[in-house]
Amino acid sequence: MFSNLYPDLRRPLALRLTLWYAGIFAVSSALAFGVLYFIFVSVVRERTDDDLEEDIQEFASFMQHDGLERVRSEIAVETSSNPGDSGYQLWTGEGRLLAAGRIGPASTPAEGNEPFLATLGRSPRVRWIEGAIAPGYVMRIGQSLEDDDAFIADFRNGFLLTLAAIVLLGAPVGWFLARRALRPIEALTRTAVEIADGALERRVPVGEGGDELALLARAFNAMLDRIQALIEAMREMTDNMAHDLRNPVARIRASSEMTLAGGESTAGSTIEECDRLMDIIDTTLDIAEAESGAARLSMTPLDLSKLVLDACDIFKTAAEDHEILLTAHVPDACTLSGDRHRLQRVLANLIDNAIKYTPAGGHIRIALEDDGPRVKLSVQDTGPGIDAEDLPHIFQRFYRGDRSRSGNGNGLGLSLALAFARAHGGDLIAQSTPGEGSTFTIVLPRAR
């Protein structure tokens, strides 16, 4: 049902990314060409102004060295050699026109010796410079901008055509970039849809490198691994619960049938079996809550040394009844942050197991080691130990080795201890040598 949604998930985003890529490409290209066009026009205008200023200086040199007649002669020569491209006017300081080549501005020159530039006319435009070439003489020189304007217009038209081509090219380039950028997202979406359809083993392909999408894919795969592990654990728990609850229910039914048949009361055994069922259910729920991360720990500063000594006092009588020596080796104080109630249950489960499987005359040694940022609490016994083939499975729910099947228990104690230890950010490690005994070590961070 979810797979039908996949084809529609990518297209709107890909289209939007394509439009964004194409738009940004076009705008950035327009800005770049605009700056280039402004610089180009400025250079052309500056070149024209430099030429006009050089002409003014040249006529000033003619006036200084050869006099007025040389200036008039040069005006005639320039006008005949460049008809229509330039204009010349020579004025006296009183505003009388002495010489002119090509029609120019009819107004009298402004007062002042500093040359200034102006653009007159529309089509064609003419750039004029006006300045004194000698005391009492003012020169005007004009240069047509028709060729410059045509060149600039050709450049502008070429720029617009290039920009249009870039905009048209930006669409396929944008589509290619969008599809390339969305490829990891599509793989992630495809995997999520397949998992939603039941393929829990699927994973997102992770490319080389450490970019954000690769990190996202790794995080997604890690989340899938965690989810799959939880689902498999739930399935295993359900199967085990169905198997382990069958016997208590059968016993309750048998007791009830005996009551109906013989009229004798079996209320005590019924209550005992119901309590056993409730204990299995409550413990299983506690394990599931801790493993899923939903357990709400009441974290408070506590002295683990005192907690160990209190536990030894509680189990001292049971150990003596089994003729077992129970000793504790702890520092004067060992403070950490933890949930007192849950850590008590962890320690109680480990000590209870050690008493259960240690024969008379044996020894149970509890040691607490303060290792700076970590604390190690070990429970060591001199029991029969755990077979090598059983050791990897002892923390699984309802798992009971061959040596423990004949005794009481439901196979949840070690699973609960491990779940609570990991809920505190720590771990529970088991070591065993058959025939010599076992050691269970709780490793806890001092602060979480």
Model pLDDT, residue 151: 84
Model pLDDT, residue 395: 83
CATH number of the structural domain 212-292: 1.10.287
Name the DSSP class of 106.
Answer: -
Give tens-digit pLDDT for 210-225: 666 677 777 877 887 8
Closest of 173, 271, 198, 194 to residue 4, by C-alpha: 194
Triad 235, 352, 236: Cα angle to 5°: 5
Residues of the chain with pLDDT under 70: 1-14, 82-86, 102-113, 121-123, 182, 198, 200, 207-213, 233-251, 253-271, 273, 292-294, 400-410, 448
Say which amino acid occupies 259: T
Helix and strand totals (H; E) in the chain:
8, 12
Model pLDDT, residue 2: 42
> Tokens in use for 71?
């200036």
Share of the chain above pLDDT 90, in %: 19
Name the DSSP class of 408.
Answer: S
> Tokens in use for 9?
């998930």
Decide if 137 contacts 91 (C-beta within 8 A).
yes
Model pLDDT, residue 191: 76
Say which amino acid occupies 197: D
Model pLDDT, residue 243: 60
Could you give the 3-state DSSP secondary structure of residue 437?
Answer: strand
Model pLDDT, residue 292: 65
Which residues lie below 8 Å from residue 381, measured CB to CB, with a gap of 6+? 354, 357, 358, 362, 363, 364, 365, 437, 438, 439
Model pLDDT, residue 253: 66
Model pLDDT, residue 3: 46
Whole-angstrom Cα distance, residue 98 to residue 52?
20
Say which amino acid occupies 158: G
Whole-angstrom Cα distance, residue 143 to residue 87?
6
All structural domains of the chain with their residue ranges: 1-197, 212-292, 299-445
Is the domain spanning 299-445 CATH 1.10.3720.10? The answer is no
